[in-house]
Structure 1
Amino acid sequence: MTKDSSSSSSIQIWVPNLFEFKGGIQAYLCDVLAALDDLHEQKDITLDDVVVLNKLDSKKPQDLFKASYFSFKFNGQLPKVFQTPAFTLNALTTSWQQRPELIVCGHLNFAPVAYLLHRLLGVPYWILVYGVDAWNIEDSLRRRALQAAEKVISISGYTRDRLIKEQGLPFKNISLLPVTFDTDRFQIKPKPSYLLTKYSLKASQPIILTVARLADDEQYKGYDQVIRAIPLMRQKIPNIHYVLVGKGSDRPRVEALIDSLGLKNYVTLAGFVSDQEICDYYNLCDVFAMPSKGEGFGIVYLEALACGKPVMGGNQDGAIDALCHGELGILVDPDNVDEIAYVLIEILQGKSSHPILYQAEALRQRVDEIYGFRRFQANLLALLKESNLVTL
């Protein structure tokens, strides 16, 4: 049964942070809020109050989420030792006073508190899951919270399938809400001359690109394997060049790997690149490669596709979803350096038999149809309908 047009909904959304650190989870949660805002403005849903409990941020930018029905409660201004207990107390007291119709846990870490409130007050809750956060869960309380959730919302079929296998969750209890991105930020353009000059490259030179955080705990991104594949690729394409965008604590180890293979002239570590410049880096390359094996989804694949670039990803994680099981790109064994080298050579030599790989406009159109913001809104609306939080 759906709500009538005069009724309204009160929702709480619990987030780790949104504004002071920009990562994939933060971007996804901001997209959820933006979609809720748009759906309300379009009168697809009626919102009385959306309370966002934020654990780590201390404030929000003035120009974001100004709607009167959005309210934010921050804990990041407190010393770190007090943030978790303060967040928990806020969640309990706010929920007790407000009795929301739905709690959305923006991270699995919050699920035990939502489970407690569900037991005390009967408030239904959703849990958003992304990737490694929901794999190999051993904590018994989190497992019970997963089982009791009204919905577990996964950004990818890969994570959903792992939860079914590892936690025994029924298929019907897990819904998909794939990520979205701002398609308009990414356009098909020629290789930027200023970047060619900056890195002493030629427009005709075959360039491979990866965009990833170089963190010690994110070596699963696969940039090591691309680096190791370069000597093999150079046998067929001597002037090949690899540009690796990203910063982090793993950079010294990556530099040592490059030096040990004698590839200093064939690899560029570009470091941090701003949002304003990142589209230029996608347009600099001839193929985007990130053969990862621990990615929850991988929005960078979508950004590269929106720039019309051929994309290669790993076949053991969320890249399977991002590339639509191979419809939008090529999936490889992320541990097989020979296969990575062979596929990249084939793509760069124009010999791939993939039907869409060299059709830049078709790649862009298809990724917008599947992962654009309108589709994201429609997917979220469908989930809300199932929870009796819409007007018709």
Structure 2
Amino acid sequence: MNEEKLSFSIVICTYNRDEFLERTLVSLNNLTYSNFEVIVVNGPSTDRTDNILKEYSNRIKIEKNDFANLSISRNIGIKAANGDIVAFLDDDAIPEPNWLNQIKELYDKYDPIGGAGGRVYGPGGDHFQFHNGYIDVWGEAVTKLEEPGIYVQSNSDKYNIMMGVNSTFDRNALMHVGGFDEYYEYFHDESDLCARLTRSGYPIYHHQEAFVHHEFARSHIRKSNYKLNWYPIVKNTVYFGVKNSIEIKSLGKRLIKPFLTARKRAIEFDQWRRHGNITIEDYRLFMKMWWKGVFRGYIDGFLRKRKTNYQLQNEQVFMKFNKVFAELDRSIITIENSKEAFDDKKFGICLISRHYPPFGSGGVATYTRALAEGLVEKGFPVFVLTTSVPAKEQKINGVCVIRVDSNNVNEELNFLVDQYPITNHNIRSSLQISNKIEELYNQGLIKIVETPLWDYEGLATTQIEGLKTIVRLETPLRKAAEMQGWNWNHDMELSAHLEKKLIETCDGVISISNNVKTIISQLYNIDWSNINTKIVPLGLLKSDYINTKVSQKKKEEIINILFVGRLEPRKGIDLLLKAFHNIAQKYLHVKLNIVGNNSIIFDKNMTMQQIFEKEASSELLNRVTFFGEVSNEELEEKYQECDIFVAPSRYESFGLVYLEAMKYKKPVIGCNVGGIPEVITDGMTGLLVEPCNISELELALVKLILNENLRKELGQNAYDNLLNVFTVESMVNNTLKAYNSFFR
């Protein structure tokens, strides 16, 4: 088959998610495959969606659906499609550049084939939501298998499935089975189609890559992980089992099994209620929706015909998508030998950050994005080199974000692989980054590079003659290892030496706090008098920011304490849980909510959550909730809902997380260690306790639990100080002053 003979119709169904849709449409310019058209089916949207689509009116097909029903929208998209393959992409998703090329491999390989899909990254790009899934005839699905699914036989009672955000189908096969069953407004819609295709002789195949990144944004159906519209979910679960078990299972099983499958949802609701994830009012509402869904699913499953659509042919023509790389390049890249890049006032700047929002998170990623966008607003050309974004090169809010792959194949470094795996990875990454930076520098696009100290990513860049390399100091490896209890070895020793080498060979240093500068001097025996160093605190908000999302707390007795951070020793989560154990026995109206990566091994090959759940009483378990990693929207909600924020870290080089809480006028508690006292003024903008002192931590929490006026006073003071000191403008302006001083 000719390389691009196979044509694709990318269908995006949207409803009131304008910002996400706009980003998804822009990302399609980065697809390396060219033989595709784009169809957007707009539901009854009331936001900016129509205006966004008008800008694309000469490049895409635009269809309308007056009903909030995803299956109807998808069938409208199929009817408008003229490609050989119909590829569905959600409006909050971004495909990897080679997505269609890899999907095409499966269509070239298999015949017959009904559909093909790849893996789906969740928010942050550091975990999978879906890979290699299957569903049984009753609607019970497995969504994460290591190997591609094996259920391709038409007489099976299990079927390979795809996640809708990354699902493609042969158009002729779709017309043969009547497209999507429009009974499904949401949930099990694509799984039902996969089952019907497989039973009709058109199996589904999985690709081990063909990645799509999914933001998993909220919608009219999905408000949070818990507060979904459970009625259609339960209804469609029962309907799926009744319909897809026809001629496969006995009538007795068809009457009983769908109920048992749906009952697992009811058991989940009860568990959430007992663990405090939902209120008793939520539970009652969920169960009301559950019973309604069960009855409707049975009635419709047995008595109603499917709402498949066999009128999907069309007389339209294929409308090839016109990619606009040149237009994007002009807006974010100064041309070669541009005077602007070497202008003393508006020079080109390159920032290095392993992760970059919204495809990755963390302290460095957060401040890098704020700094990059702040510099762009001042007219500086800014490039960010990262490993976390899906596209090789894209524009995000005016910043040119470039992905650099870290798999350097320099054979001269192979001697490092076995004994020095950390150093091996970091050096190869540094070399790859340096190659791209040298390319940008030789083209006249940049004049200065800023690199974080962590992982010494900018080390190789210091050898580029004429280019200024600046290091921003954060927690050094030696301090992190001490706080985390890591076993120090020769590999870490070499990496620590290379951190020191980066500081000694760079052209200037920016420290985010006085403390981290002092700590590094002590641990690495560095004399700062010989190094040009500036102190620039991090900034979080714009100076004109007005927080309209500060919570107006309801009149209720419950006091919510919030922790946000990785569940690792350095963050002090073990100290907090011990302090809360004592508090919970005395104050029955207090709850603790914990947000952050809970998959990290803490001790004895167990995570902190596993340790806690093993040792805690049932009463304490009901007062502590582990949410794991959450979306930005849900995190914002947790900050708004809390009464007290606490992060008893054993060490922080700065403490950006406290500023996040202050943004919502929340009183904060931190430890008198590292750079935290430079963020929290004890008794004025928060409370400080000595590190690892559980008694002091308990007293500080009780002080705020019992004094609502103090909570309000500290929260307001912190918010005012945030707007006066820790603004993006201040960080950007002071960074530029530092940059200019390094040129002298």
Q: TM-score range by the shorter chain?
A: 0.7 to 0.9
- Cα distance in 2 between the residues matched to 1:186 and 1:154: 32
Contact kept? 2:351, 2:368, Cα under 8 Å: no
1:164 aligns with 2:511: no
Among 652, 660, 666, the alignment partner of 1:295 is 652
The 5-angstrom pairing of residues 8-23 of structure 1 reads 8-19=346-357, 20-23=359-362
Among 583, 592, 599, the alignment partner of 1:242 is 592
1:26 aligns with 2:384: no
TM-score by length of structure 2 reads: 0.44
**Which residue of 2 is the match for residue 131 of structure 1?**
475
- Cα distance in 1 between the residues matched to 2:645 and 2:684: 15
* 1:190 alignment partner, SS class: coil
Contact kept? 1:306, 1:367, Cα under 8 Å: yes
One-letter identity of the residue aligned with 1:384:
Y
- Cα distance in 2 between the residues matched to 1:60 and 1:175: 33
Q: Which of 1 and 2 has higher RCO (CA within 8 Å, sep 6+)?
A: 1
What are the Cα deviations for residues 288-329 of structure 1, in whole angstroms up to 9, with x where unaligned? 111001323232211212212111001223322221466421
Provide closer, same or farther for how the CA distance between residues 57 and 5 of structure 1 changes in structure 2, counting only shifts above 3 A. closer
One-letter identity of the residue aligned with 1:54:
T
* 1:52 alignment partner, SS class: strand
What are the Cα deviations for residues 197-244 of structure 1, in whole angstroms up to 9, with x where unaligned? xxxxx8212221101123xxx322112111111232235423321111
Provide closer, same or farther for how the CA distance between residues 152 and 230 of structure 1 changes in structure 2, counting only shifts above 3 A. same
The 5-angstrom pairing of residues 102-181 of structure 1 reads 102-108=448-454, 109-117=456-464, 121-133=465-477, 135=479, 138=493, 139-167=496-524, 168-170=526-528, 173-181=532-540
Tell me how far 1:188 sits from its aligned partner.
2.1
User: % of aligned pairs identical?
Assistant: 22
1:272 aligns with 2:629: yes
Contact kept? 1:115, 1:148, Cα under 8 Å: yes
* 1:111 alignment partner, SS class: coil
Contact kept? 2:670, 2:676, Cα under 8 Å: yes
- Cα distance in 2 between the residues matched to 1:187 and 1:351: 20
* 1:166 alignment partner, SS class: helix
Among 358, 363, 377, the alignment partner of 2:732 is 377
Ranges in structure 1 where 5+ consecutive residues have no aligned partner:
41-46, 194-201
Contact kept? 1:13, 1:104, Cα under 8 Å: yes
- Cα distance in 2 between the residues matched to 1:5 and 1:98: 11
* 1:33 alignment partner, SS class: helix
Provide closer, same or farther for how the CA distance between residues 388 and 327 of structure 1 changes in structure 2, counting only shifts above 3 A. farther
**Which residue of 2 is the match for residue 43 of structure 1?**
none
**Which residue of 2 is the match for residue 35 of structure 1?**
374
Provide closer, same or farther for how the CA distance between residues 88 and 380 of structure 1 changes in structure 2, counting only shifts above 3 A. closer
Contact kept? 1:227, 1:258, Cα under 8 Å: no
Contact kept? 2:452, 2:474, Cα under 8 Å: no
1:59 aligns with 2:414: no
**Which residue of 1 is the match for residue 580 of structure 2?**
230
Among 571, 574, 596, the alignment partner of 1:221 is 571
What are the Cα deviations for residues 23-43 of structure 1, in whole angstroms up to 9, with x where unaligned? 221111111211211222xxx
TM-score by length of structure 1 reads: 0.79
One-letter identity of the residue aligned with 1:266:
R
1:386 aligns with 2:741: yes
Tell me how far 1:252 sits from its aligned partner.
4.2
Provide closer, same or farther for how the CA distance between residues 232 and 8 of structure 1 changes in structure 2, counting only shifts above 3 A. closer
Contact kept? 1:186, 1:279, Cα under 8 Å: no
Structure number, greater radius of gyration: 2
**C-alpha RMSD of the superposition:** 3.4
Tell me how far 1:15 sits from its aligned partner.
3.1
- Cα distance in 2 between the residues matched to 1:101 and 1:333: 44
What are the Cα deviations for residues 339-382 of structure 1, in whole angstroms up to 9, with x where unaligned? 11111111211299x7x863543331221211122322332232
Contact kept? 1:186, 1:307, Cα under 8 Å: no
Provide closer, same or farther for how the CA distance between residues 88 and 7 of structure 1 changes in structure 2, counting only shifts above 3 A. closer
Provide closer, same or farther for how the CA distance between residues 80 and 22 of structure 1 changes in structure 2, counting only shifts above 3 A. farther
Provide closer, same or farther for how the CA distance between residues 170 and 63 of structure 1 changes in structure 2, counting only shifts above 3 A. closer
Paired residues, number:
359
* Further displaced range: 166-175 or 155-164: 166-175
**Which residue of 2 is the match for residue 196 of structure 1?**
none
1:334 aligns with 2:714: no
Provide closer, same or farther for how the CA distance between residues 360 and 248 of structure 1 changes in structure 2, counting only shifts above 3 A. closer
- Cα distance in 2 between the residues matched to 1:348 and 1:24: 29
**Which residue of 2 is the match for residue 190 of structure 1?**
552
* 1:291 alignment partner, SS class: coil
- Cα distance in 1 between the residues matched to 2:712 and 2:390: 44
Ranges in structure 2 where 5+ consecutive residues have no aligned partner:
1-341, 411-427, 481-491, 601-605
- Cα distance in 2 between the residues matched to 1:61 and 1:54: 10
